[in-house]
Structure 1
């Protein structure tokens, strides 16, 4: 009875026994832009699960997930006007794109492990064809600056290198072959009077704003682009050496099979290569069977590839000295075993 009387008195005088705590600080995501969205996680999970279980329709599910990623990329376009140095804006955009690489790499890993087929390679190839137009202004796109597309050029280069690295590490040579050998259609090149069919070096374009940043901040980095890629790879818990060997393989192919427009693949990650001995995929070339697979990707006979490796030791290098490519490629041991 006494307890009920106290509750009545507190109610009359508006002095409740249990006081509701004040609301905390309003969450930032309620007050503005939530940032670029990469699409439904359900679509992503459906693709990875379908490939893992071998369920019918796994290829279509991979297409859906890759298409969703590609459709999200225009959200990262540089917003005008840019306040402050443009390289700050480019680096900030590259940082915001970290989720794209993480999600893309997961899809590639699952495809290389559970569906390492030419069909999967073709689907990845189509995804990369959707990235190339983002490298530059399209017809009728209006005014633009020289650095407006640098974040996309970094991302395209990084994703392509990562896809090749994962395919090589997984032994998914059918996927690697599709990425290496099949040319890419780029309508924006045709618009400028060039041939629209391009090789893999089309993804290896200069990111001028990063070099400008290197000079402006006196960072003294041999390759700021390679350093950012390494930091992102380390953050994902992956081995950067896998990207190095993919980079070297793409360089060798560009020397053996020139493609004309943007014909050379500059192996920027090799700035970190001198701390390594023979790279795994090249060390395995001691097996004649493995060597034949690698030569197929490079696109030339063994003598021609050996010649390119020898010539690579001449000159001043690629802005960071001359990496010891014969050592990295383990060329002295090629084909010694069946």
Structure 2
């Protein structure tokens, strides 16, 4: 066995599989041949288990030897049956694999390759593998995507990597100058906490100051005409400068819903003004295509964050008001039809981010998701709540108004993982009574069966280029447990 793993090759992989059929053995061998061609030293019984060798020793050495960097567990129905029943060679390998997977600190050595699923679409994976992530080879049309995922995993070369750690937001540092809206924010917050009769006026006053800053902090009109700062970097810098003001808006939202709900319409009016900053005013005479991109990034975060705060505060009625509101939109072009827009208008895409991907050659799946992930790990709202809000906003229309074009893009769900568990709002909908309440307020009183059907029909694989499979919308919305309890 030591001779096997001392051959050249940076990565060495052992393939564990069941002799299910001649066709299956051929598929495994061809996979091994292709991996070998792509620089992986593969240990396969057909190649390395010679007459007179001890098969149990061969298995044990292939799995436990530290020189073997990866173990590929090819899973089909027969493999699962033999592994769970501890039968045959697969059963022996299972007895070796189980303690290795559960006790070793480094679990990145093992991956299941699923080649078969049951009639319900569930993967055949052995019990000892648990709920770990697997690589799905069960769909022939997706085999190339699965193979790329496998080779990236073997070579520790993920498609998406963690961004560089940046600086703490300026508003967290006591040494930084106070925000331009600090006085207005403090007065509004104190007024809301006291239940002041002038709470509405204080919210509007803060909103005016907020909009002034969202306009003043845009990239200069001349930006991009020289090479001092690339236009995409100028947009990111501008958005970073705007973000602390939006965090004040989120803080006021929490205070408002805890004691001054009567002023909620004034909060909606502030959001309406935030939306207005994403396009040129009728008085604007010059602008560049990227002038308003920072405002688009921030408008998405502003609306998403307000919904996230309302979710955290269990304010479903207020969320319904927010999503049903017609937002006045002063269209400078005068040719977009309605003078009001739906909440999806807050999810405009900042085109400059595509240029940023090209300029930095970072191949980010979603810059806007990265911004939220970076800046909402602490404070209110949390990143988890932002993801929950994104999911709600994404499924709102297709569930309540099937056939309508889906125009809310759930950026943050790129971080949800392939099989994320149900998010809180949807997990609680396993109660039929709670489901009926939520469905009546947010989804047009659809039945559990209709809700499941329409959510399952949402295909996240189309959302992000190069991300396959994408997050399971059905899993995140907990469709398997919808209304199962009284």
The residue correspondences of 1:1-338 to structure 2 (distance < 5 A) are 38-39=180-181, 41-82=182-223, 83-84=226-227, 85-115=230-260, 117=261, 119-188=262-331, 191-236=334-379, 238-256=381-399, 264-274=407-417, 276-295=420-439, 296-299=441-444, 301-302=446-447, 303-313=449-459, 316-319=462-465, 320-321=467-468, 322-338=470-486
How far apart are the structure 2 equivalents of 1:208 and 1:35?
Answer: 32
TM-score (normalizing by structure 2): 0.57
- Of the structure 1 ranges 73-82 and 199-208, higher mean CA displacement relative to structure 2 is found in 73-82
Residue 21 (structure 1) aligns with: none
User: The residue matched to 2:416 in structure 1 has which SS?
Assistant: helix
Which structure has more relative contact order (CA 8 Å, sep 6+)? It is 1
More helix by share: 1
* Alpha-carbon distance change, 74 to 168 in structure 1, aligned in 2, over 3 angstroms: same
Would the aligned equivalents of 1:244 and 1:270 in 2 still touch at CA under 8 Å? yes
Would the aligned equivalents of 1:108 and 1:163 in 2 still touch at CA under 8 Å? yes
Would the aligned equivalents of 1:199 and 1:263 in 2 still touch at CA under 8 Å? no
More strand by share: 2
Would the aligned equivalents of 1:94 and 1:154 in 2 still touch at CA under 8 Å? yes
Cα deviation for residue 149 of structure 1 reads 0.5
- Of the structure 1 ranges 202-211 and 269-278, higher mean CA displacement relative to structure 2 is found in 269-278
How far apart are the structure 2 equivalents of 1:80 and 1:313?
Answer: 40
Would the aligned equivalents of 1:183 and 1:197 in 2 still touch at CA under 8 Å? yes
TM-score (normalizing by structure 1): 0.81
RMSD: 2.7
5+ long unaligned stretches in structure 1: 1-33
How far apart are the structure 1 equivalents of 2:370 and 2:199?
Answer: 36
* Alpha-carbon distance change, 76 to 190 in structure 1, aligned in 2, over 3 angstroms: same
User: The residue matched to 1:195 in structure 2 has which SS?
Assistant: coil
Would the aligned equivalents of 2:250 and 2:381 in 1 still touch at CA under 8 Å? no
* Alpha-carbon distance change, 133 to 314 in structure 1, aligned in 2, over 3 angstroms: closer
Cα deviation for residue 69 of structure 1 reads 1.6
How far apart are the structure 2 equivalents of 1:256 and 1:184?
Answer: 21
- Of the structure 1 ranges 132-141 and 221-230, higher mean CA displacement relative to structure 2 is found in 132-141
- Of the structure 1 ranges 223-232 and 134-143, higher mean CA displacement relative to structure 2 is found in 134-143
Cα deviation for residue 71 of structure 1 reads 3.1
Cα deviation for residue 72 of structure 1 reads 2.7
* Alpha-carbon distance change, 213 to 282 in structure 1, aligned in 2, over 3 angstroms: same
* Alpha-carbon distance change, 327 to 263 in structure 1, aligned in 2, over 3 angstroms: closer
How far apart are the structure 2 equivalents of 1:55 and 1:91?
Answer: 38
Would the aligned equivalents of 1:270 and 1:323 in 2 still touch at CA under 8 Å? yes
Cα deviation for residue 44 of structure 1 reads 1.9
Cα deviation for residue 229 of structure 1 reads 1.3
Cα deviation for residue 259 of structure 1 reads 11
5+ long unaligned stretches in structure 2: 1-175
* Alpha-carbon distance change, 231 to 301 in structure 1, aligned in 2, over 3 angstroms: same
Would the aligned equivalents of 2:307 and 2:389 in 1 still touch at CA under 8 Å? yes
Bigger Rg, structure 1 or 2: 2
Would the aligned equivalents of 1:112 and 1:166 in 2 still touch at CA under 8 Å? no
How far apart are the structure 2 equivalents of 1:64 and 1:105?
Answer: 16
How far apart are the structure 2 equivalents of 1:74 and 1:274?
Answer: 36
Would the aligned equivalents of 1:198 and 1:259 in 2 still touch at CA under 8 Å? no
Say how many residue pairs are matched.
Answer: 302
User: Over residues 73-95 of structure 1, what are the superposed CA-to-partner deviations in whole Å (9 max), with x where a residue is unaligned?
Assistant: 21112212114321011011011
